[in-house]
């Protein structure tokens, strides 16, 4: 059996920027164990698999060790594959996922994803969270990740967390953030319990960060930058209980998996 595989740099304008994701279109679902083995072999933060169901696509995401409920950059990459390589003709794609139906729209300015917003709320920080951070945060909140606001962009950029201490935290991961100098806010995202120490550009984290910074900055349209070594730009627009995330994607590699 052969399976097509695409490696796409999502939230990037050129190769070696943004966040790499593998995308595997399938005719029917394979056993979960096989999907997980493929994701482990790819060794990227996420591998996306999708199957056409009438006029929609069922979409699932796997890290090298777990299936996850929501992934932004691999959704962007899957939409890019459909629009660019698989002759999808409509302007909107509806993905059916564990987080509900996600719509991706193809526009001249980029791909726009319609995702559920999740407003972080203040929490008492677990001791492991603060010890792993190593510096005093400005604020601690949580949604499906811990959100740590730091003093400024430099503090986010230079942070060297102790990821071993964050591996046993109860939430998905840790997102550090601060106001930006040339954008509205910056961030870095760490998911050691998913075997993804630092994710290059994390669409799903902006479902938490956009409402957080929208409330602080009293604006609904936000420009964001993730300060990983690869870096990536995410345009965010808050719309009620939804957040629109816009970005571009570029091809890195295309091939076939032989099983």
Token digits of residue 159? 């942070």
CB neighbour burial string for 96-129, b if at least 16 within 10 angstroms, e if fewer: bbebeebebbbeeebbbbbbebbebeeeebbebb
Longest Cα pair distance anywhere in the chain, in angstroms? 53
Which entry of 14, 46, 127, 241 is annotated as an active-site residue? 46
Between the alpha carbon of residue 63 and those of residues 43, 47, 123, 252, the distances in Å are 8, 6, 27, 19
CB neighbour burial string for 218-228, b if at least 16 within 10 angstroms, e if fewer: eeeebebbbbb
Q: Give CA–CA dist 116/113, Å, rounded.
A: 10
DSSP conformational letter for 62: E
Closest CA to 16 of 258, 200, 148: 200
Closest CA to 16 of 253, 248, 202, 230: 230
Q: Tokens 């970005």 identify what position?
A: 247
- Told to judge if 46 belongs to the known catalytic residues of this protein, a careful annotator would answer yes
Give me the helices (H) in 12-126, please: 32-42, 72-84
Judge contact between 24 and 13, C-beta under 8 A.
Answer: no
Active site residues: 46
């Amino acid at each position: 059996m052969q399976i097509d595989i695409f490696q796409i740099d999502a939230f990037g304008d050129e190769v070696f920027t943004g966040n790499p994701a593998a995308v595997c279109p399938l005719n029917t679902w394979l056993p979960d164990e096989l999907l997980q083995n493929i994701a482990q072999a790819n060794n990227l933060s996420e591998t996306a698999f999708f199957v056409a169901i009438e006029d929609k696509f069922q979409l699932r995401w796997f890290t090298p060790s777990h299936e996850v409920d929501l992934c932004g950059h691999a959704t962007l990459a899957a939409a890019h594959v459909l629009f660019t390589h698989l002759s999808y003709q409509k302007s909107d794609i509806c993905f059916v996922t564990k987080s509900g139906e996600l719509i991706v729209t193809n526009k001249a300015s980029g791909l726009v994803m319609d995702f559920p917003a999740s407003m972080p709320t203040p929490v008492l920080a677990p001791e492991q969270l603060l010890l792993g951070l190593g510096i005093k945060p400005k604020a601690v909140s949580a949604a499906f990740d811990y959100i740590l606001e730091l003093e400024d962009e430099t503090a986010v950029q230079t942070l060297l967390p102790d990821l071993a201490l964050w591996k046993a935290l109860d939430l998905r991961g840790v997102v550090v953030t601060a106001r930006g100098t040339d954008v509205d806010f910056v961030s870095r995202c760490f998911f050691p319990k998913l075997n993804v120490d630092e994710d290059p550009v994390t669409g799903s984290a902006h479902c938490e960060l956009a409402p957080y910074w929208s409330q602080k900055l009293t604006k609904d349209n936000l420009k964001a930058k993730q300060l990983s070594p690869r870096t990536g730009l995410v345009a965010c627009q808050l719309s009620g209980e939804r957040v629109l995330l816009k970005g571009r994607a570029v091809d890195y590699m295309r091939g076939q998996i032989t099983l």
